[in-house]
């Protein structure tokens, strides 16, 4: 991992930056606190930006005649138009962004599980959806990783978020250089990771890199970028992770004793059964790459797609023992 990479992340201001929630409080988040050293944060509180006070009466999304409105029930004020206008202006004003971490379930920032009420009366039924700012962020930046702080407490979601965030940010860095040499190096050091995520898209990337039609460099980069987004469209499947670990282990199958190989296989099996996180067999396999000084493997982002200091053996916020 290139430690010079500093992804740009838009974050809800209430997540450890300012006490600006509707109740005048701040949500301290340990992951975001740790992340501050490794990314550039752009903070935003859409509700304060549209003129709401701190503290303030709560706002909610209400379905009115099949239209969604952002209403403050206590005052009856409608902030829909103001929120849409601010969100559009803010998002269009971002020169570059690599990711978003937004407040969960917020009627402005939420990206999932936001309550959509079927009326203003007390006790009205509700469904689930997105907040106005959160939904517009997803639509404006479809290839950028967008999550909320609640979902990021899940180890697998957090792992996918960090992987996509730092790899895409690294691609943007080499895209500015716009040379086939840099693109080829980027592709080579990420091959194993891409294979784990999506073998089909890796084959497409391989063809793009070969550039048999002798396209201009900028055209190759554009094609590559579109395909790269598809590689990270979903989290890596467990079966693919296991296959990648076995593939790495095969590099050393003739160099290690049978009992060592069996121990690694047993460790992978424990991961498969859910007893340990993915990073345990990953580090075990990497130890052989270090032991035998296999530079081909050690250069692969598969082993550390993001800074090691951000790795936490947690699943849904609970430390695995």
Average the pLDDT over each of 62-76, 79-93, 97-111, 174-188 and give the range with the smallest value.
62-76
pLDDT value at 261 more than 80: yes
Residues 6+ apart with CB under 8 A from 109: 12, 46, 102, 103, 131, 133, 134, 148
Q: How far apart are CA 196 and CA 239, in angstroms?
A: 9
Is 11's pLDDT higher than 70?
yes
Q: What is the pLDDT of residue 65?
A: 85
Instruction: Please give the average per-residue pLDDT across 107-135, as a whole number.
Output: 90
Which pLDDT value is given to residue 1? 59
CB-CB contact of 121 with 145 (8 Å): no
Q: What is the mean pLDDT of residues 247-264?
A: 94
Q: Stretch 29-53: mean pLDDT, rounded?
A: 96
CA distances from 127 to 112, 138, 139, 220, 239 (A): 11, 20, 21, 44, 34
280-289: pLDDT as tens digits: 999 999 999 9
- Report pLDDT for 2: 61
Mean pLDDT of 303-310: 93
**Each residue of 201-225: pLDDT tens digit?**
999 999 999 999 999 999 999 999 9
pLDDT cut 90: percent of the chain above it: 88
The pLDDT confidence band at residue 166, using thresholds 50, 70 and 90, is very high
HSE value, Cβ hemisphere, 13 Å, CA-based, for 88: 6
- Tally of CB atoms within 10 A around 129: 18
Arithmetic mean of pLDDT, 105-126: 88
Q: Could you give phi then psi for residue 215, rounded to 5 degrees?
A: -75, 160
pLDDT at 155 over 70: yes
Return the closest-CA partner of residue 60 out of 138, 121, 146. Answer: 121
At residue 314, the pLDDT reads 54
What value does the mean pLDDT of the chain take? 93
**The pLDDT of residue 320:** 45
For 256-292, what is the HEC assignment? CCHHHHHHHHHHHHHHHCCCCCCHHHHHHHHHHHHHC
The pLDDT tens digits of the residues spanning 50-80 come to 999 999 999 999 998 889 999 999 999 999 9
Q: Residue 177, exposed/middle/buried by CB under 10 A (0-12, 13-18, 19+)?
A: exposed
Q: Is the pLDDT of residue 135 over 60?
A: yes
């Amino acid at each position: 991992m290139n430690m010079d990479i500093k992804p740009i992340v838009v974050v809800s201001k209430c997540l450890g930056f300012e006490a600006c929630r509707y109740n005048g409080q701040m949500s301290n988040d340990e992951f975001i606190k740790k992340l501050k050293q490794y990314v550039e944060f752009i903070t935003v509180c859409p509700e304060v930006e549209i003129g709401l006070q701190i503290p303030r009466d709560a706002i909610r999304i209400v379905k009115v005649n099949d239209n969604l409105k952002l209403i403050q029930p206590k005052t009856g004020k409608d902030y829909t138009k103001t929120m849409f206008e601010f969100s559009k202006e803010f998002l269009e004003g971002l020169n570059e962004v690599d990711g978003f971490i937004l407040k969960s379930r917020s009627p402005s920032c939420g990206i999932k599980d936001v309550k959509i009420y079927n009326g203003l009366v007390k006790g009205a039924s509700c469904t689930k959806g997105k907040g106005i700012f959160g939904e517009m962020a997803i639509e404006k930046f479809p290839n950028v990783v967008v999550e909320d702080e609640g979902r990021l407490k899940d180890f697998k979601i957090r792992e996918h978020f960090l992987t996509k965030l730092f790899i895409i940010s690294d691609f943007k860095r080499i895209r500015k250089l716009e040379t086939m040499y840099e693109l080829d190096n980027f592709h080579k050091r990420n091959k194993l990771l891409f294979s784990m995520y999506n073998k089909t898209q890796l084959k497409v990337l391989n063809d793009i890199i070969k550039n048999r039609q002798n396209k201009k460099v900028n055209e190759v980069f554009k094609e590559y970028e579109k395909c790269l987004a598809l590689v990270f469209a979903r989290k890596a499947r467990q079966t693919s992770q296991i296959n990648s670990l076995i593939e790495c282990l095969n590099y050393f199958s003739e160099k290690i004793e049978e009992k060592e190989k069996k121990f690694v296989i047993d460790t992978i099996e424990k991961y498969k059964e859910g007893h340990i996180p993915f990073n345990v067999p990953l580090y075990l396999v990497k130890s052989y790459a270090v032991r035998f000084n296999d530079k081909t493997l050690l250069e692969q982002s598969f082993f550390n797609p993001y800074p090691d200091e951000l790795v936490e053996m947690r699943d849904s916020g609970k430390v695995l023992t």
